Amino acid sequence: MNIQSNRSITPLRQRMIEDMTARKLGRHSQRSHLYSCKRFAAFLESSPETATADDVRLFQLFLIESGASICNRNRIMTGVRFLFRVTLRRHDLAAEIYHLKAPQKVPLTMSRDEIKRLLAMAANIKVKVMLSLAYGCGLRAGEVVRLRAGDIDSAQHIIRIVQAKGRKDRNVMLPADILGLLRLWWKERPRHQDKAVASGERWLFPGRNPGRPLTTRQFARLFQETIKKAGITKPVSLHCLRHSFATHLLERGLDIRVIQALLGHDKLETTARYTRVATGLISAVDSPLDDLGKGRRKHKKAGGRTSG
């Protein structure tokens, strides 16, 4: 893994990279941590090795006052905390770092009709199968683009998701419709880049660079292009397909623990948030006000019988 630039690298940066590599942090996590420490160094106008507790306090204040979102602010401070806690062994400064609680937002989902319109407007079989995997199997964008041919188990009708978020493997179902789309795509899929690669190791969706899959950014762009063609105006993102997968399964009455396993969530609380957006479940709940109305009607009937 090479996340270093061609320019000269400081001993502190090199040591931090080694610390992250030794702990098997992923490529994206390493880049995020390095960027965070670069932001902190720019704020200090000196090396983080010279930082004081007051510097840490003022930097956290600066992030909020400069308009950083809570999520972005917490991400930056996670990288800075790694630097202090692991690389510099400055536990006193690491203790000065605190995280803010992000507001609980209801996940944005798409209706079944919107999903149908989206899939119907897919530009080609490749886009259709990728969107179908994201919605029909509840996959993250990164999980879709990193699928290899060997991950598809047509005999058992499952898809193996290898080393996903949190370095976890899991299995998800392989619907018959998606298997059919995958077989059609496999016939059309370009092979000039990976002729020498074993069939099971080939990326299902090869990217522009030889030996690399399609990027999540390219996938997101294909999604937005299809959303526009489908005439869907709500501000949805590619991840909304995963939200919709979970919500629609919940509305069908599937056990929430099964949904948790399909999504790969560690905590049931993470999956339970979809109960707040399962409109089918919510709209089916009888209001206690309805009971009051029933009570009045019963009272009138009873009164009528007495007077008769």
CATH number of the CATH domain containing 269: 1.10.443.10
Split into its structural domains, the chain has a count of 2
Q: Is pLDDT at 110 greater than 90 in this prediction? A: yes
Task: Give percent of the chain above pLDDT 90.
Answer: 67
User: Which pLDDT value is given to residue 151?
Assistant: 95
Residue 289 covered by a domain? no
Spatial separation of the C-alpha atoms in residues 203 and 149, rounded to whole Å: 6
Specify the CATH number for the domain of residue 39.
1.10.150.130
Top-confidence residue, 173 or 284:
173
Please give the average per-residue pLDDT across 270-291, as a whole number: 74
232 and 164 belong to one structural domain: yes
Task: Give percent of the chain above pLDDT 70.
Answer: 90
User: Which pLDDT value is given to residue 145?
Assistant: 95
User: Which pLDDT value is given to residue 2?
Assistant: 47
Top-confidence residue, 81 or 190:
81
**Which range among 70-79, 231-240, 267-276 shows the weakest confidence by mean pLDDT?**
267-276
3-state helix, strand, coil in the chain (%, to 5): 60, 5, 35
156 and 83 belong to one structural domain: no
Q: Is 91 a catalytic residue?
A: no
Q: Is 299 a catalytic residue?
A: no
214 and 244 belong to one structural domain: yes
Q: Is pLDDT at 182 greater than 70 in this prediction? A: yes
Q: Which of 165, 170, 229, 276 is catalytic?
A: 165
Domain boundary among 67, 94, 121: 94
Q: Is 140 a catalytic residue?
A: yes
- Residues 6 or more apart whose CB falls under 8 angstroms from that of 304 comprise none
Place of tokens 């996340």: 3
Q: Which of 274, 294, 300, 305 is catalytic?
A: 274
Q: Which of 140, 146, 148, 243 is catalytic?
A: 140
Q: Give 6's pLDDT tier (boundaries 50, 70, 90).
A: very low
Residue 245 near residue 132 (C-beta atoms within 8 A):
no
User: Which pLDDT value is given to residue 299?
Assistant: 55
253 and 128 belong to one structural domain: yes
**Which range among 38-52, 96-110, 141-155, 172-186 shows the weakest confidence by mean pLDDT?**
96-110
Q: Mean pLDDT, the chain, as a whole number? A: 88
Sheet containing strand 152-153, strands side by side: 152-153, 158-161, 170-173
Please give the average per-residue pLDDT across 136-165, as a whole number: 93
Query: How wide is the angle at C-alpha 157 spanned by C-alphas 155 and 163, nearest 5°?
Result: 105
Residue 238 near residue 135 (C-beta atoms within 8 A):
no
Q: Is 265 a catalytic residue?
A: yes
Query: What are phi and psi for residue 238, nearest 5 degrees?
Result: -60, -35
User: What residues make up the domain containing 45?
Assistant: 11-94
Instruction: Write the CA distances from 299 to 191, 286, 292, 294, 306, integer angstroms.
Output: 76, 20, 11, 9, 11
User: Which pLDDT value is given to residue 134?
Assistant: 96
Q: Is pLDDT at 294 greater than 70 in this prediction? A: no
Q: Is 248 a catalytic residue?
A: no
Top-confidence residue, 5 or 197:
197
Q: Which H or E run includes 52?
A: none
Q: Is pLDDT at 253 greater than 90 in this prediction? A: no
Q: Give 288's pLDDT tier (boundaries 50, 70, 90).
A: confident
Tokens of 136: 């029909």
User: Which pLDDT value is given to residue 308?
Assistant: 47
260 and 136 belong to one structural domain: yes
Q: Which of 33, 90, 126, 242 is catalytic?
A: 242
User: Which pLDDT value is given to residue 307?
Assistant: 45
pTM > 0.85: yes or no: no
193 and 219 belong to one structural domain: yes
Sort strands 170-173 and 158-161 into parallel, antiparallel or unpaired: antiparallel
